[in-house]
Amino acid sequence: MATREQLIALFESNQGTYFSGEDIAERLSISRAAVWKAVNSLRAEGYPIDAVRNRGYCLSQTTDVLSAQGIAKYLTDDCAEIQLTVLPEVDSTNTAVRERAAAGAPEGVTVVSGCQTQGRGRIGRTFYSPSQTGVYLSLLLRPPHCQPQEAVKLTTMAAVAVCEAIEEVSSEQAQIKWVNDIFIGDKKVCGILTEAALGLEDGCLDYAVLGVGINVYAPKDGFPEELQKIAGSVFETAQNDGKNRIAAAFLNHFMADYKNRDVSDYAARYRARSLVIGRDIWVMQGGQAYPAHVLDVDRECRLHVQYADGRIDCLTSGEISIRVRSEGV
């Protein structure tokens, strides 16, 4: 482990505790000059490290810098296979993990970033991913004997995990707009994008890349105009270790369900957090929008709808939009 990572691990595990330069040098088997250089480097990255004469260096207890060490200290045993890489900026975490998957990386490889320059959403959309405000995470999965149509279960499982993570680290109640958008109130705070590759011999998934983008905070200058009525954030003000805690909580909840594989268990929790049951929606199909009423979400997380003509349908994937009263039928 490089000096930087060793020092972050030491500070993250002992927030609020002072270490003298001599003590750190001895623990890390480096010179005191190297300690000073490493501390200044971390400060330049945004780590609030205090230095007090005769006491040493201390990582502030109110720090909120995304790091592998900061996430790892909150992970449970269910995440034993998780291999974390945290990058300050990346084009797309999904792209980064897909490249690793194609090279034969094992299940559990996870790339997390605080900024994406080419973040992707569903149906070719972009995903706004500004620096220092969110957690953008992609996880490599290799589920055995998984048929393509079952990939949606990974998305719905992730949606439940995001809701539970938000509820764990904040006082907010999160809900799911079928199939993959997470809302707090009437604002979207998270999007999920699952991409997969098929094995040519058996037609099963070779791997899946589960991408999750969470707006932990609102951007300093606000969301772009086109997102202001849509996008929101989990927290209104800075939190101690907010980004690390929410990333770890998501991984903990997701991996617990992923290992359990009890569909009925997480499906019931998905349904309980549905934002659309009993509401009027538009179902987007073939470039057209059809008015419908949501009847239920079943144990497979499929959406049961009734169209204006009385016809009932069961949707396994697709795009919907919630109708407001002024839009009529």
pLDDT tens readout for residues 204-229: 899 999 999 999 999 988 998 889 89
The full length of the chain comes to 329
Asked whether residue 93 is marked as a ligand-binding residue, the answer is yes
Asked whether residue 116 is marked as a ligand-binding residue, the answer is yes
Q: How many Cβ atoms are within 10 Å of 116's Cβ, its own excluded?
A: 27
Where the chain has pLDDT below 70, the residues are 1, 122-124, 200, 261-264, 324-329
Which pLDDT belongs to residue 286?
85
Asked whether residue 121 is marked as a ligand-binding residue, the answer is yes
Which pLDDT belongs to residue 140?
98
Q: For residue range 75-85, what is the model confidence (pLDDT) as tens digits? A: 999 999 999 99
Asked whether residue 94 is marked as a ligand-binding residue, the answer is yes
Asked whether residue 69 is marked as a ligand-binding residue, the answer is no
Which residues lie below 8 Å from residue 313, measured CB to CB, with a gap of 6+? Answer: 283, 292, 304, 305, 306, 307
Asked whether residue 317 is marked as a ligand-binding residue, the answer is no
Asked whether residue 187 is marked as a ligand-binding residue, the answer is no
Q: For residue range 103-141, what is the model confidence (pLDDT) as tens digits? A: 999 999 999 999 999 887 765 677 888 888 999 999 999
Query: What token pair was written down for 181?
Result: 């958008």
Q: How many Cβ atoms are within 10 Å of 229's Cβ, its own excluded?
A: 10
Which pLDDT belongs to residue 167?
97
Asked whether residue 31 is marked as a ligand-binding residue, the answer is no
Which pLDDT belongs to residue 151?
84
Map out the domains of the chain with their CATH numbers: 3-59 (1.10.10.10), 68-273 (3.30.930.10), 279-321 (2.30.30.100)
Asked if 184 contacts 172 with a C-beta cutoff of 8 angstroms, the reply is yes
